[in-house]
Amino acid sequence: MNCVVSVGNAKEYDVEGLKQNISKRINDIGGFESIISRSDRVLLKPNLLTSAPPTRAVVTHPSFVEAVASLIIDHGAKVSIGDSPPLGNLNRVLSKSGYDDFMRRLNVEPCPFTKKRTLECVEGRVFRRLDLAEEVFDFDAVINLPKLKTHTQMGLTLAVKNLFGTVLGTDKASWHLRAGKNIDDFATVLVQIFEQVNPTVSIIDGILGMEGNGPNNGTPRFIGIVAAGKDAVALDAVLASLVNFPANMLRTSVIGQELGLGMADLSKITILGDELKGFPITDFRQAKSVTMAWNLSYWNPVRRFLENHMITRPMIDGAVCKKCGVCMTHCPPSAISETNGALSIDRKKCISCFCCQELCENDAIQVLEPLLGRFFSRVSR
């Protein structure tokens, strides 16, 4: 296993500067020859959560993706960009997020995920089968291009989490339902998806990241780094440490290591690249709901008490809500309903997956952190 992560400083999104920076990162981890071959068909998988201008730091910055696409084309390979955005179709998200211009210039094709393939998982895994986008497996190589952002359910969204986009539309909700409030079950799904897609490398856009209650409604925050690794578990662990996120709370890395898919122990990861000053960022604002990392497998009344008093939950801000109904349509357990023109959330049904908060374009879902949860999340860091 290649436990080398390369991290470089980056001040801005100029494509030529990024090409040089990303080339150095790739050289540190074995060079382009170890990732793709000439004449390969390569799929780039950025974070394309929803249509959003690059200044909002929701999607992987188009200049970052252009730099990677350009390097791969220079290497003699052909490039496509694919994802399955939960809201809107891929072409619209690409266009509204500023990708059109460079895709036209570089002759990069969009690859919407529309067909499903059922994959048998490795013997002994928790989930035996996964339905993922068939198109992903039509390529010679997948290159994973996540954005460094906070995530209300998982704490952070980095390399492993980014491949949840290979699950088609409504199937995403069914995975949330199967995992319920058990954060480790959901982290396991993410790790198993990552294992199936098996990207050759992950390169993280951590220049303008997001803090607070991401991944859609957080606050853009300049972080100033570009990082790459073939071991995504290690890459995520390194990035989490740079933004001061507790290692044991990044469940995808903890479980990824347990399943033998990578190394989350920082003392065993070789970190190459630029000298990093000002890290870890001690005032980086984490998402409120990291209390979800507490797994509650206790006796039922105790569990219910802890869920009510510790787990972060959503609340609809009636003054901001535009009643578009998107949250209602996408809530996995149908916990949101409308009565007399006002939307409300059934607390008993809610699994705190925060899909509603992620998909609300109007930032009308607040994140409530109960007092006890706030206390325990502070002392556990």
Q: How many residues does the chain have?
A: 381
CB of 328 to ligand SF4, least distance (A): 6
- Determine if 108 is a binding residue for ligand SF4 (CB under 6 A): no
Q: Rounded CA gap, 335 and 349, in Å?
A: 5
Which amino acid is residue 233, in one-letter code?
V
CA distances in angstroms from 369 to 287, 319, 329, 372, listed in the order given: 10, 20, 24, 8
- Terminal C-alpha separation, the chain: 29
- Determine if 27 is a binding residue for ligand SF4 (CB under 6 A): no
For the segment 307-366, give every residue that binds ligand SF4 (CB under 6 A).
Answer: 314, 316, 321-327, 331-333, 335-336, 343, 345, 350-356, 360, 362, 364-365
For 210, the 3-state DSSP assignment is strand
Q: Per the omega criterion (within 30 degrees of 0), is the bond before 215 cis?
A: yes
CB of 332 to ligand SF4, least distance (A): 6
What is the 3-state secondary structure of 282-308?
A: CCCCCCHHHHHHCCCCCCHHHHHHHHH
- Measured from the CB atom, the residue of 60 and 352 that comes closer to ligand SF4 is 352
- Determine if 86 is a binding residue for ligand SF4 (CB under 6 A): no
- Measured from the CB atom, the residue of 113 and 354 that comes closer to ligand SF4 is 354
- Determine if 164 is a binding residue for ligand SF4 (CB under 6 A): no
* Burial call 160-187: b when 16+ CB within 10 Å, e when fewer: bbbbbbbbbeeebbebbeebebebbbbb
Q: Rounded CA gap, 249 and 260, in Å?
A: 18
CB of 145 to ligand SF4, least distance (A): 26
Q: Rounded CA gap, 135 and 103, in Å?
A: 19
Rounded to 5 degrees, φ, ψ at 132 are -125, 170
- Measured from the CB atom, the residue of 117 and 323 that comes closer to ligand SF4 is 323
Q: Rounded CA gap, 72 and 87, in Å?
A: 29
Q: Rounded CA gap, 344 and 6, in Å?
A: 46
- Measured from the CB atom, the residue of 62 and 86 that comes closer to ligand SF4 is 86
**H helices within the chain, ranges in order?**
15-28, 62-74, 90-96, 100-106, 159-162, 171-179, 183-197, 232-242, 251-258, 300-309, 326-330, 355-359, 371-379
CB of 150 to ligand SF4, least distance (A): 16
- Determine if 249 is a binding residue for ligand SF4 (CB under 6 A): no
- Measured from the CB atom, the residue of 92 and 115 that comes closer to ligand SF4 is 92
CB of 167 to ligand SF4, least distance (A): 16
CB of 158 to ligand SF4, least distance (A): 21
CB of 15 to ligand SF4, least distance (A): 35
- Measured from the CB atom, the residue of 15 and 321 that comes closer to ligand SF4 is 321
Residues 233 and 257 sit within 8 Å (Cβ to Cβ): yes
- Measured from the CB atom, the residue of 72 and 345 that comes closer to ligand SF4 is 345
E strand or H helix at 41: strand 41-46
- Determine if 71 is a binding residue for ligand SF4 (CB under 6 A): no
**Total binding residues for ligand SF4 by CB under 6 A?**
27
- Measured from the CB atom, the residue of 112 and 333 that comes closer to ligand SF4 is 333
- Measured from the CB atom, the residue of 47 and 352 that comes closer to ligand SF4 is 352
CB of 60 to ligand SF4, least distance (A): 23
For the segment 258-317, give every residue that binds ligand SF4 (CB under 6 A).
Answer: 314, 316
CB of 164 to ligand SF4, least distance (A): 15
CB of 357 to ligand SF4, least distance (A): 7
- Measured from the CB atom, the residue of 242 and 356 that comes closer to ligand SF4 is 356
Interacting residue ranges for ligand SF4, rule: CB under 6 A = 314, 316, 321-327, 331-333, 335-336, 343, 345, 350-356, 360, 362, 364-365
